Amino acid sequence: MTTNPVVSIVCTSYNHGDYLADAIDSFLMQETTFDVEILIYDDASTDHSPHVIKQYENKYPSLINPIYQTHNQYSKGVRVELFNHNRAQGKYIAVCEGDDYWTDPYKLQKQVDYMEAHPSCSMTVHAADRVLSDKKKVLSTVRPAHGNAVFSMERVIEGDGDLIATNSMVYSKEKIAVLAPFYLNAVVGDYRWLF
């Protein structure tokens, strides 16, 4: 396993078998000047997700570190995103669920470069397209801003969960080391990441 990753890519999956290869390939295409680790958590999928993950794990054993649950934890009320968050070794955490993927091979490099140059920044995001899963046809674009912007907490709240795409987030593990109680009780999973 990568011993000193700068970025931990965290991927939570449940029955994403038809999409996981796209997600993992997008992690592997990242061109960086630093090491990354890929942490995949499968919550006892009933489709072919574990098989897809296992193929990549066998091919990239020093890079991909999965957890395969045998019983679905989410249905028991367990916060499954914490499995990857808590074991992440990177200074930064990049989020991409198993049914999402990235298209820019320099995504992580750009976001980490920005955060390194701006130490007070706790998270970076970017525009993202919503696509029709079987045809990859763009349905809409989530665009937090036109050009670069710094968001206040008020602006994020006013965005009502539709301001930022989850798979665009890279955040500082140190600055978000302890997840607040409201995070653990939030109804919408993606929205709570913004705080």
DSSP 8-state code for residue 194: T
DSSP 8-state code for residue 3: S
Model confidence at 189: pLDDT above 50:
no
Q: What is the pLDDT of residue 187?
A: 46
Rounded to 5 degrees, φ, ψ at 92 are -120, 150
CA neighbor of 42 nearest in space, from 7, 73, 87: 73
Taking the C-alpha atoms of residue 55 and residue 60, their distance in angstroms, rounded to an integer, is 9
Model confidence at 153: pLDDT above 70:
no
Q: Is 22 helix (H, G, I), strand (E, B) or coil?
A: helix
Count Cα neighbours of 188 within 13 Å in the Cβ-side half-sphere: 9
Q: 101-136, pLDDT tens digit by residue?
A: 999 999 999 999 999 999 988 888 887 776 666 656
Model confidence at 195: pLDDT above 70:
no
Angle formed by the axes of helices 20-28 and 49-59, nearest 10°: 20
- Per the model's pLDDT, the better-predicted residue between 124 and 93 turns out to be 93
- Per the model's pLDDT, the better-predicted residue between 139 and 85 turns out to be 85
Taking the C-alpha atoms of residue 195 and residue 5, their distance in angstroms, rounded to an integer, is 24
Rounded to 5 degrees, φ, ψ at 157 are -65, -45
Q: 50-86, pLDDT tens digit by residue?
A: 999 999 999 999 999 999 999 999 999 998 988 999 9
What's the whole-number average pLDDT of the chain?
82
Helix (H) or strand (E) holding 7: strand 7-13
Q: What is the pLDDT of residue 100?
A: 93
CA neighbor of 27 nearest in space, from 1, 50, 9: 9
Q: What is the pLDDT of residue 188?
A: 44
Task: Specify the residue for token string 């499954």.
Answer: 80
- Per the model's pLDDT, the better-predicted residue between 8 and 125 turns out to be 8
pLDDT band at 182 (very low <50, low <70, confident <90, very high): very low
Rounded to 5 degrees, φ, ψ at 34 are -135, 165
Model confidence at 33: pLDDT above 50:
yes
Model confidence at 170: pLDDT above 80:
yes
Taking the C-alpha atoms of residue 161 and residue 74, their distance in angstroms, rounded to an integer, is 21
